[in-house]
Structure 1
Amino acid sequence: MANVEKFSFHVPSLEELGGVLQNGLKNNFADVQVSVVDCPDLTKEPYTFPVKGICGKTRIAEVGGVPYLMPLVNRKKVYDMNVVAKEIELPGAFILGAGAAPFQTLGINAEFQKLTGHKFSYEWIQGPISAISILYLQIFMPVVQTKSDHKPAVNGSYFAQINPADGGCLLEKYSKKYSDFGFALLANLFASEGKPGKVIEVKAKGRTGKHNFVTCMRETLEKHYGDKPVGMGGTFVVQKGKVKIHIMPPEFSTCPLTSDEDVNNWLHFFEVNAPLVCQPVFVSRDPGFDLRLEHTHCFSHHGEGGHYHYDTTPDTVEYLGYFLPAEVLYRIDKPKETHTFGRD
């Protein structure tokens, strides 16, 4: 079992959180409506999740971290959603969020002769030189109902990669190709019993400020609650407009990435179209666990998805989201050596 640290979040009432978010978001959007409602049936479109809600014993888990990806990748860092569910003391949990796809599953083998002319870092190439494993990296959108004593696991996840045919964005349903529940390197996860119940509904239109939707909510919570960390997760839909996303290149960087500039030069950026289903995990303030404060991945039913940065059509963008505060943080396999770049 990986090293697991546990922390209890400050958990305000939904009504209080709704008022705080209403006041904060109105400084960043022209039209804001925040209220407490019954969670919609998330098995229906556009969500198509394997459970109806996001309620019940809410948790946030941060697994691994960016230091396992850069400066150079640590290929030993592989994980399993069903194991994570046990580590957060919630077997059978519904888990959604943002992470790196399981290169241990998606990787392919190539003969050494085919690698002539490529530079590869021996930080991650191991094994016989005649059969080097090239590890491919994809953006991962975990949507998993983990296994319990009564039910098998259901994997509704997506992954996005560079389309080898045209260099564009290629989004695929994970279960159509693979049957495992793995991921690698890092993930920011929101977990619950997946039950119906009361949630915070946020509607926001017309971005007038500089912050993206998630950053605005997170910084609003940080400003209001100060040194009382609040964690939140859930799902939101970009109903109208366009969004800037990134997808990682098909191969790990063979040169050390040591700054945000290096990272941005390595990533591939795209502008994609609504509707997009997004899976945010955010924490108002790091209580000392080397957290990535916010992380959001998105998928669609029209073949686009990736890591959400911000909308590119502020005048016309429309967001609709459903969120809950997390009761507990679980920090799993925290890197011993860390840095602050690559966390945008």
Structure 2
Amino acid sequence: MATGAKHGIEKFVLYQPRLEELSDVLQKGLKENFADVHVSVADCPDLTKDPFGFPVKGICGKPRIADVGGVPYLIPVAKLDKIYDINTVARDTDLPGAFILGAGAASSRTLGINAELMPLVHTEHEGKPAVNGSYVARISPTDGGCLLEKYSEKYHDCDFGLLGNLYVSEGKPGKVLEIRASRRIGQFSLVTAIRKSLENHYGDKPVAMGGTFIIEKGKAKAHIMPAEFSACPLNTEEEVNNWLKHFEMEAPLICQSVLVSRDPGFDLRVEHTHFFSHHGEGGHYYTDTTPDIVEYVGYFLPAEFLYRIDRPVETHKIGRD
């Protein structure tokens, strides 16, 4: 149900099943898409350690998601004045000092170009500055490949632009859903398979989850947005795909993901995943391209609340894959 909201912020109470129930639902649902599946309730690993290197130890504590801005601010024509601060998102979701991860667009005001952002920020609180562990992936001006950078090595803000799909929590250790899946036999990515399993089981009860997963073996299809925003309006899926730069990237890849089983009427992007690596590759995840050998391990939690921030008035469904 929707609740009262600050200006430009809509809040919705999500359906939040118990972890044990979700474990059973996903164990059954993911079996349709992967030959090997094991879903359990487990302790969140220490995310400050390799391969994650996050600024906090876990993803637990008052979990919520925020859908900020949206694809209509990127296409058909980019609205470059749409700049957001992750610290402000933490306050807007009633959790100042939160740890926030997810997928979004980098701030063109900061970078001077368009790029993919992998936000990983322990936000400011009670006089303590933010700890920004984010990554940014851009198109290399020298060879047209992927240029992956640690955000804080070049930039000193916590901004992002246009759109962001964010998982917000206290960043504490605790119990999570551990999902292990390998040898894909279905047509869906891991994220889509999770989302559809939830949708099929819970129907019109919106269940949202966020977290992180690793592609341990195999390769993944990805894109990175061009450095220059399109000079011409992008009005169709074909035009958007022709504008994006597509890649096949090698495991191991550390992914951060937000998904909602169904949109309860807030013009949501129902799933969005970005990833980084320690070998120079990163971007927007579509799916794996090596189904016979792919191996995933992930850690997720269901969210209590959805916050819809700065929802576009003029909207469309193009470019949300």
The TM-score normalised by the length of structure 1 is: 0.91
Question: Per-residue displacement from partner, 1:165-194 (whole Å, max 9, x unpaired)?
Answer: 111111100000001000000000000000
Matching residue within 22, 34, 42 for 1:17: 22
Q: Does 1:262 align with 2:239?
A: yes
CA distance in 2, matches of 1:283, 1:254: 32
CA distance in 1, matches of 2:291, 2:73: 34
Matching residue within 155, 168, 190 for 1:213: 190
Matching residue within 88, 91, 94 for 1:86: 91
CA distance in 1, matches of 2:277, 2:129: 26
Conserved? CA contact 1:63–1:332, under 8 Å: yes
Q: Does 1:276 align with 2:281?
A: no
Aligned residue number for residue 58 of structure 1: 63
Aligned residue number for residue 49 of structure 1: 54
Aligned residue number for residue 77 of structure 1: 82
3-state SS of 2:191 partner: helix
CA distance in 1, matches of 2:123, 2:115: 21
CA distance in 1, matches of 2:257, 2:172: 18
Question: Per-residue displacement from partner, 1:4-53 (whole Å, max 9, x unpaired)?
Answer: 00000000000000100000101100100000001000000110000000
CA distance in 1, matches of 2:244, 2:80: 19
Report how far residue 151 of structure 1 moved: 2.6
AA aligned opposite 1:267: L
3-state SS of 1:84 partner: helix
User: Matches of residues 1-344 of structure 1 in structure 2 within 5 Å?
Assistant: 3-107=8-112, 136-149=113-126, 151-344=128-321
Aligned residue number for residue 116 of structure 1: none
CA distance in 1, matches of 2:231, 2:7: 27
Aligned residue number for residue 132 of structure 1: none
CA distance in 1, matches of 2:231, 2:189: 32
Report how far residue 150 of structure 1 moved: 5.2
Question: Per-residue displacement from partner, 1:98-155 (whole Å, max 9, x unpaired)?
Answer: 0000111011xxxxxxxxxxxxxxxxxxxxxxxxxxxx10000000000010532100
CA distance in 2, matches of 1:277, 1:209: 22
Report how far residue 228 of structure 1 moved: 0.3
Conserved? CA contact 1:41–1:53, under 8 Å: yes
CA distance in 2, matches of 1:217, 1:308: 15
**Structure 1 pair 2/179, CA: closer, same or farther in 2 (3 Å)?**
farther
Report how far residue 259 of structure 1 moved: 1.1
CA distance in 2, matches of 1:250, 1:40: 35
CA distance in 2, matches of 1:260, 1:101: 22
CA distance in 1, matches of 2:258, 2:72: 19
Aligned residue number for residue 112 of structure 1: none
CA distance in 2, matches of 1:283, 1:146: 24
AA aligned opposite 2:35: A
Report how far residue 2 of structure 1 moved: 5.6
After the TM superposition, list the runs of 4 or more consecutive aligned residues in structure 1 that deviate by more than 3 angstroms: none
Identical columns (%): 67
3-state SS of 1:261 partner: helix
CA distance in 2, matches of 1:162, 1:39: 34
CA distance in 2, matches of 1:2, 1:283: 23
Aligned residue number for residue 3 of structure 2: none
